[in-house]
Structure 1
Amino acid sequence: MLYTIFNSVDGLVPSMPRGWGFLIIIVTVTVIGYLGTRFFVGRWLFDSFSYVMTHTPGIKYIYSSIRDVVSSFVGDKKRFNRPVWVRVNMSPEIWRIGFLTQDDMEPLGMKGKVAVYMPHAYAISGWVILVDGSNVKTVEDMTAGEAMKFAVSGGITTVEEAEHEKKN
């Protein structure tokens, strides 16, 4: 699979020795991304592209959904920044790590409920659950990044490893 991706990207730049096309594409995309986020003209181009995509019938729903999900994980507008433990079962007692996304669901007729994003292990997907606020407690001993790493790794990343990374 990686070989196919490499060959496809490498083939985008014709008449180059093997590997140079891949390198040129990666460097070009990186430079365009950097310039686009640092300078007015680049920002204007990205904003214009976004405007066109959000106003194109059919594409706007897919584009805006992908943009929102990506911006939730990276950039200045990270939304998964409040890690919580959620009791998902009483007997036996089972807790999962998640991220509080809405702390009041009363406007939707669900008084006392909160919305929590529960990431899947080894994926960037997840699901949203609505639970009583009494079943949620704030994660005190991890940052949002450490909590996401813990969740996505399937719990393989331990608190000790996170502490070791903080020190280094």
Structure 2
Amino acid sequence: MKKYIITGLLVWLPLAITVWVLHSVLGVIDGVFASMLSAWQAVLPTSMAASIERLRHIPGLGVLILVAGMLFTGMFVANIFGQWALQQWDKLMSHIPIVKSIYSSVKQVSDTLFSSSGNAFREAVLVQYPHPGSWTIAFVTGKPSGEVADALGEEHVSLYVPTTPNPTSGFFLMMPRSSVRPLKMSVDAALKHIISMGVVAPEGESLAAVGGANPARNPGG
């Protein structure tokens, strides 16, 4: 009986967590949409308030408006005028105290992660962390530059080492390229391996086969 209960739990748990996450995300979006409607009701005539109130009870309308807003925003900034308007907006945000620090940092990170021409999270590697002989999977986010690169001397790579089972938090490291072992697995496969705490084995070649060497040996010599 215990075996059947656990088997049933394994069947329903992924679906339950998926529904819970989607419900939470939709709840946040609907909350933002409701706040926008309340702001419109405060400035529009009373005759239009009843019509706006009916929009509040349409399920999923907030998600549709969000998707449409992102679509039209992307189409707008794809032309010359939109690029100019976006530059003016960035200049405005960069001159507001406190806000400029948060906005600039988030923009740099988002541009790096989601840019089609960027190299962030394009490669999974094997590194020794947090001490020699202990191995973990990390993601290459780029290369040190400027004063940091001059101080390091030899070629280094910037790495993000995610934690498990929550990969959204982790550690930023700069390690010599010679100490990093490239992996042939995709970033998605590496993330699944990390989130599952090693339970879900990555597809393809084994880690030991990558580079034709034994991972138990220090690559740095």
TM-score (norm 1): 0.70
State yes or no: 1:9 paired with 2:32.
yes
Corresponding residue of 1:83: 124
Q: Distance in 2 between matches of 1:144 and 1:56?
A: 37
Corresponding residue of 2:175: 131
**Aligned length, in residue pairs:** 157
Q: Distance in 2 between matches of 1:29 and 1:45?
A: 20
C-alpha change, 1:18 and 1:46, in structure 2 (3 Å) is: same
| 1:159 CA drift (Å) | 1.6
| 1:11 CA drift (Å) | 2.7
| Unaligned 5+ runs, structure 2 | 1-22, 38-51, 205-221
C-alpha change, 1:103 and 1:155, in structure 2 (3 Å) is: farther
C-alpha change, 1:153 and 1:55, in structure 2 (3 Å) is: farther
Q: Distance in 2 between matches of 1:47 and 1:155?
A: 44
Corresponding residue of 1:55: 95
| 1:136 CA drift (Å) | 0.9
| 1:53 CA drift (Å) | 1.6
Q: Distance in 1 between matches of 2:125 and 2:30?
A: 43
C-alpha change, 1:57 and 1:75, in structure 2 (3 Å) is: same
Contact 1:103 1:115 in 2 (8 A): yes
Tell me the percent identity. Answer: 21
Q: Which has the higher strand share?
A: 1
Corresponding residue of 1:117: 160
C-alpha change, 1:80 and 1:4, in structure 2 (3 Å) is: closer
State yes or no: 1:33 paired with 2:70.
yes
Q: Distance in 2 between matches of 1:117 and 1:49?
A: 30
Q: Which has the higher helix share?
A: 2
C-alpha change, 1:103 and 1:48, in structure 2 (3 Å) is: closer
Contact 1:116 1:129 in 2 (8 A): yes
Contact 1:36 1:43 in 2 (8 A): no
| 1:49 CA drift (Å) | 2.7
- State the secondary structure of the residue aligned to 2:54: coil
- State the secondary structure of the residue aligned to 1:15: helix
- State the secondary structure of the residue aligned to 1:26: helix
- State the secondary structure of the residue aligned to 2:53: coil
Contact 1:83 1:144 in 2 (8 A): yes
| 1:42 CA drift (Å) | 5.0
Corresponding residue of 1:24: 61
RMSD: 3.3
C-alpha change, 1:102 and 1:49, in structure 2 (3 Å) is: same
